[in-house]
Amino acid sequence: MRFSIPRWLVLSVCLLLCGSGCNRSGTSAATAPTGTDGSGVAVGDSSAPSTDSSSFPRKAGKYTVLGILTDNQDNSKAKENAETTLLRHPDVACLVGLWSQNTPMILAALRSSDAMGKVAVVGFDEHPDTLAGIRDGNVYGTIVQQPYAFGYRSVQWLTTLATGGQVDVPDSGMIIIPHRTITSENVNEFAADIEAMKSGNGPLLADGDDVKIDGAGKRVAYITNSLDPFWTLADAGCRRAAEQFGCQVDVQMPSSGSIEEQKRFLESNVAAGIDGIAISPIDPENQVGMINEACQATTVICQDSDAPASQRKFYLGTSNYLAGRAAGKLIQEAIPDGGEVMLFVGKMEVLNAQERSQGIIDELSGQPIPDILAE
C-alpha cells in the first residue's frame, strides 16, 4: 500500500540521515537511527538473541517483519522512527507499538506523514490515545495487560508474606495474569472499567480468606520501570489494596527510566526496613546482583518484567510471549493478505519486549505454542 509523503518530511529525514550536523541525541547525524544498521534495513537489538541484526528483514509466513526500532523511551525518537519507516518503506502495511507510548507516537507520525488510515496499526496497553484511535478506526486493536491487578496483587501478596501467610506459586515461579484483546467491539466497555479504576472504585480482587489479611503496621514498595500512563492503573491497584488490607504502599516511578535509579530505590527501601518490594526490572540480566542484595533483607517479587535468574520470590504479570501471539492474531486480522510489518519499542533489553516480539513473529510464522505455555 503506497502513500504520498509530504516534501517537508522527505527533506527533514534526508537531513537527519545524511547531514553533517548533530541530531538531538548529540550523536553525528550520519549515525544510523536507533535500531537500524545504517543501510536502511531495520534490525533488532543484539541483546535479544531471537531478534539479532542478521535476522531482519524476516519472512514470517506471508508477512515480512522489517525489524524492531527502539527509542530509549524518548517520544520524539519514537515518532521519528515511525516517520522514517514510512519514508523508507512506502509499502509497509502494519506498524506495531510494543510499549504503551509507541502507538500514540505511531499515530502522530501517520498524521504528520498524511498516512492516517492508509497503514494498519496494532498496539499494546491502554494509553488514552490508543483507545481513541480504536474508536476512530485508526488503530485496529491493542493487547492490554492488567496493570491494576499487577499493583493490587503485588500489595496483597507482599502483605500476605509479611504477615506470615503463604502465596500459592506454581512450580514455574510465575503467576500469570491474563492479557485482554481490545478492539472496536469492546473498547467502550473497557474504557468505562478504566475510569472506575482511576477514580478509586476499582474491583476488590481478593476473596475468601485473603480478605482477612491484616496489614496494619506493614509497609511495602512498588517500583515501576518509568513514568508512563500505564503505571497510573498499577498505582490505583496498589492504593486500593492498601486501603483494603490496612498497609502502607510507596509507589516509586524512576523519572529517568534507568537501572541506576531503580538501584537507589531498592537501597533506600532496604535501609528503611520495607516489608516487601515489587519491581519491574528495566534490564533484568544486569540487575540480578542488586535484586539479590535486596532479597537478603526483605521479600522481593518481580512484576510486569521478570528477572528469572535472580532470587526474587516469584513473578506476577502477563505472559508477554502469549500477549505477543495475540498481537500477531490482530495483525493477521488487520492485513489478512500479508505484507510488511515494522515493530517499535522503547528498549529491547527488557524481557517483555523480547518476548512480545518473538510471540508476534511466531504467530505470523504459524509456529506452535510451546507446550509449557499452551492454554
DSSP H or E run through 176 = strand 174-176
pLDDT for res 180: 97
Element (H, E) at 294: helix 288-295
Q: Are residues 256 and 135 in the same domain?
A: no
Range of the domain at 360: 41-144+321-365
- Joined together, the cell numbers standing for residue 369 give 505454542
46 part of a folded domain: yes
pLDDT in tens, the chain (375 residues): 444 444 333 333 333 333 333 322 222 222 233 343 333 333 333 333 345 555 899 999 999 999 999 999 999 999 999 999 999 999 999 999 999 999 999 999 999 999 999 999 999 999 999 999 999 999 999 999 999 999 999 999 999 999 999 999 999 999 999 999 999 999 999 999 999 999 999 999 998 877 889 999 999 999 999 988 889 999 999 999 999 999 999 999 999 889 999 999 999 999 999 999 999 999 999 999 999 999 999 999 999 999 999 999 999 999 999 999 999 999 999 999 999 999 999 999 888 899 999 999 999 999 999 887 765
85 belongs to a structural domain? yes
Q: Are residues 246 and 172 in the same domain?
A: yes
Position 70 in a domain:
yes
- Regarding whether 355 and 302 lie in a shared domain, the answer is no
Task: Give the pLDDT score at 323.
Answer: 97
17, part of any domain: no
Looking at the domain assignment, is residue 374 inside a domain? no
Q: Are residues 175 and 47 in the same domain?
A: no
Domain count, the chain: 2
Is 9 contained in some domain? no
Give the CATH number, domain containing residue 67.
3.90.190.20
Contact partners, residue 12, CB within 8 Å, separation at least 6? none
Cα pseudo-dihedral 118, 342, 37, 26, rounded to 10: 70
Q: List the Cα angle 364/181/354 in 5-degree steps.
A: 50
pLDDT of residue 375: 53
- pLDDT for the residue 319: 93
Give the CATH number for residue 302.
3.40.50.2300
pLDDT reported for residue 208: 80
Task: Tell me, yes or no, whether 77 and 225 share the same domain.
Answer: no
Same domain, 257 and 291: yes
The reply to whether 128 falls in a domain is yes
Q: Which of 281, 298, 317 is the last residue of a domain?
A: 317
Calpha distance 224→128 (Å, rounded): 19
- Do 305 and 165 lie in one domain? The reply is yes
Residue 137 is placed in which grid cell?
Answer: 478506526
CA angle 333, 183, 202 (to 5 degrees): 150
- Which phi and psi angles does 271 have, rounded to 5°? -65, -30
Cis peptide before 57 (omega within 30 of 0): yes
